Amino acid sequence: MENSSSCVRGADTVCAQNVGQRERAASLLAGAWMVAWGLVRARRWPLSLVVALAGGSLMRRGVTGQSVFYRAMQIDTERRGAPYPGVDPGRAVVAESAVTIDRPAGEVYSFWRRFQNLPHSWPT
């Protein structure tokens, strides 16, 4: 689903949503609160207008479903079916390993508590 009203189209511009539904709702609520708070306090504290502007940016993010930061970091929380939220399944690498230590837990804990033993614990 594309939202052409909030992005400038160029040769390599992608206008697809990259913010998930829950995040969008949270952005809208937080942004509305920040705008209201900033505008109410603007006469007593002029810097509160900065808070209102940031709230407006959050509201834009919530309405359009697009985040410039997410696009720059190649994060997509809108995509369903990804094994980990925000990770592109095409680029994801899952690394798992297990180590069995045949010693009592107290002995292993006391070994790791001594910082001079740390270089012996980790492979180089």
- pLDDT tens by residue, 16-50: 788 888 899 999 999 999 999 999 998 898 899 99
What would the two tokens of residue 1 be? 């689903």
The mean predicted confidence, pLDDT, of the chain is 80
Q: Which of the residues in the chain have pLDDT under 70?
A: 1-15, 80-91, 121, 123-124
Helix-then-strand count for the chain, H and E: 5, 0
The single-letter code of the amino acid at 118 is: L
Of 85, 67, 77, the residue nearest 20 (C-alpha): 77
Geometric angle at alpha carbon 84, from 78 and 88, rounded to 5°: 60
**The pLDDT value given to residue 56:** 95
Do residues 89 and 31 lie in contact, with contact meaning Cβ atoms separated by under 8 Å?
no
